[in-house]
Amino acid sequence: MFSRIRAFFSGTAAWRLAMRSTVVFAVGSAVLFGAMYALVAQAVHERGDSWLIGESETLRQVALTTPRDSLYDRILEEVAEIATQELAFDGRGHRTANVVFILLKDESGKAPLWVGPKDASDFEPEIATLHLQHHQAAFLHVPGWKLPFRVVAADIDPPGTSPAADGRIYIGLLDTAAHRLLLNLRLWFVFAWCLMVGFGFLIALLSLQRMLNRVDAITRAAAGIDTADLSTRVPPYEQPNDEVARLTRTFNTMLDRISASVNQLRTVTDSVAHDMKSPITSIRGGLESALSTEDQELSREYVAHSLEHLDRLTEIVTTTLDVAEAEAGALRLHRTPVVLGDLLRRLGELYLPAFADREQTLTLALDDGLVAQADVRFLNRVFSNLMENELRYAGEGAQIWLSLQVASGMAVIVMEDNGPGFPPEMTERVFERFAKGMDSEGHGLGLAFVKAVMVAHGGMARAEHADAGVRIVLEIPVLPPGEAASLLAQQKDGKLQTLLS
């Protein structure tokens, strides 16, 4: 059963991530438990060392103050016996398994005083290997004893004499209660560590699996997308509002945009095919008629008619490519300083006869001195598109106003008329490609081209509500006066040098 569960999870990213995080957690918690155990063990040993030092100091004082007569050894032995019995019982009066030994050696040549278990011969060789300073503690491992003794040495020399000149006291303690406490502490620490690591791994695995299931839902949604059906979406996650939920919303938004782009592409393709079908059919029909007739004049008329349709076809393709490049940020601009007022005034004068033929009036209100760093070719086409739209759709006798002014570092160009205006269904879509009214004779690319060029120049285009007619607003950045004057002077000098050369 466990092998099947492991086989199910081991191939997932959740398993690998949970294992890595658990290893880091296990190492960190092991270091923490080890440090805690070391602190507790140190405290336990210091407690035992304090008792040993205290008892050794008591024996030392007794040895120093007791007269060296026949009762000297007897008194020291009685005091040592009393010391060994202090830890024989616990606080509740129960006998403990603690073991205490005391070894007193002097320089008189007498046999050492030994108070403790068994014979001193098991302990003396091991004690001789210890090189302890006064009141220094160390562990002593004695053959036949499973647990080590804690031993403290004390010199019985009066102040001012050489160390160990009068003998040395060794007092050792086998504190079974402390060893049992530390053993139980180690077992509990290991048990708690295993429990924490196990639960930590399980929680990490389940949490990561739950999170990655949401990521997998995005993967399945992406795998289920094809060109025929773009309606697949990932179920949104409102809670928790975390990175995966934001990724889900971003992914669904991306799918919405892709779907809209594909639908727009289909619409554009259908519109282009429809708009190109009529000129191509006319071209084919005109050329076939020119080939089938023997009348030279009529043949020339058919060919001229076909050329007009070719020009219309070329215009559709060129404008479509320009709009696509501009919207993709790939429009190649040859920027030069352009005096916007002069450009609009020349175009207005150019279109005045056409406006007069339709009994339309054009009123100009242009601020002079506004210079933009722009591609004059595209600006000419933009403003020409606006003029052509006024000629076609403003109606006979319409009044047209064209103004230019500056606001917040932007040149604001406003084209307004009192004609019939846009159809209600077109107001929000006038700048979309191939968006046109039912009565429009154009291709639906003119205003899309206008906006694309303005955006490519760092500006914008919008259609505003007007009481009557149409109001188109264009914005394009203008140069500061000082910089504009300098660039225009350089441009003039360059043209002069070209003429002289």
Q: Which residues pair with 152 in a beta bridge?
A: 137, 171
Residue 413 confidence class, pLDDT cut points 50, 70, 90: very high
CATH number of the CATH domain containing 271: 1.10.287.130
**DSSP code for 426:** G
- Identify whether 189 is part of a domain: no
405: β partners = 412
Q: Whole-angstrom Cα distance, residue 250 to residue 242? A: 12
pLDDT tens, 188-217? 999 999 999 999 888 888 888 887 787 787
pLDDT of residue 322: 65
In a domain, 105, yes or no: yes
Residue 350 is assigned to a structural domain of this protein: yes
> Could you say which of 274, 307, 327 is where a domain stops?
327
pLDDT, residue 163, reads 47
Confidence label for 1 from pLDDT (cuts 50, 70 and 90) = very low
Percentage of residues of the chain with pLDDT beyond 90: 10
Q: pLDDT (tens digit, 9 = 90+) per residue, 423-477?
A: 766 666 777 765 665 555 555 677 888 888 888 888 998 887 677 788 889 999 9
Band (165; pLDDT cuts 50, 70, 90): very low
Same domain, 44 and 88: yes
More confident of the two residues 117 and 264: 117
Q: What is the CATH number of the domain that holds 69?
A: 3.30.450
CA angle in degrees (0–180, nearest 5) for 472-478-479:
175
pLDDT for 13 beyond 80: no
Task: Count CA atoms within 13 Å of residue 173 on its CB side.
Answer: 29
The neighbouring-strand residues paired with 100 are 173
- Pick from 248-252, 259-263, 357-361, 449-453: least confident: 259-263
The string of DSSP codes covering 46-81 is: HHHHHHHHHHHHHHHHHHHHS-SSTTHHHHHHHHHH
Work out the number of other CB atoms within 10 angstroms of the CB of residue 268: 19
Which tens digit of pLDDT belongs to each residue from 80-109? 778 777 766 665 666 677 888 888 887 665
Is there a single domain that holds both residue 153 and residue 299? no
The answer to whether residues 269 and 349 belong to one domain is no
Do 301 and 350 share a domain, yes or no?
Answer: no
Count how many domains the chain has: 3
Local structure of 455: helix, strand or coil: helix
Give the domain range for residue 406.
Answer: 336-500
Verify that 293 and 355 share a domain, yes or no.
Answer: no
Nearest to 469 by CA among 414, 412, 429, 432: 414
**Is residue 135 situated within a structural domain?**
yes
196: closest CA among 4, 40, 38, 27? 27
Q: Where are the beta strands (DSSP E) in 81-175?
A: 99-105, 113-115, 137-140, 149-155, 168-174
Return the minimum-mean-pLDDT range out of 77-81, 361-365, 396-400, 439-443: 439-443
Please tell me whether residues 311 and 358 are part of one structural domain: no
Report the interhelical angle of 72-85 vs 13-65 (nearest 10°).
150
Q: Would the CA dihedral through 306, 307, 308, 314 be positive or negative? A: positive
Judge if 13 and 162 occupy the same domain.
Answer: yes
Q: Point out which residues pair with 401 in neighbouring strands.
A: 363, 416
Q: Which of 111, 97, 104 is nearest to 81 (CA)?
A: 104
Q: What is the pLDDT of residue 97?
A: 74
**Averaged pLDDT for residues 281-289:** 74
Predicted confidence at residue 106, as pLDDT, reads 73
> How many CA atoms lie within 13 Å of 400's alpha carbon, on the beta-carbon side?
27
Q: Which of 28-37, 245-254, 334-343 has the lowest mean pLDDT?
A: 245-254
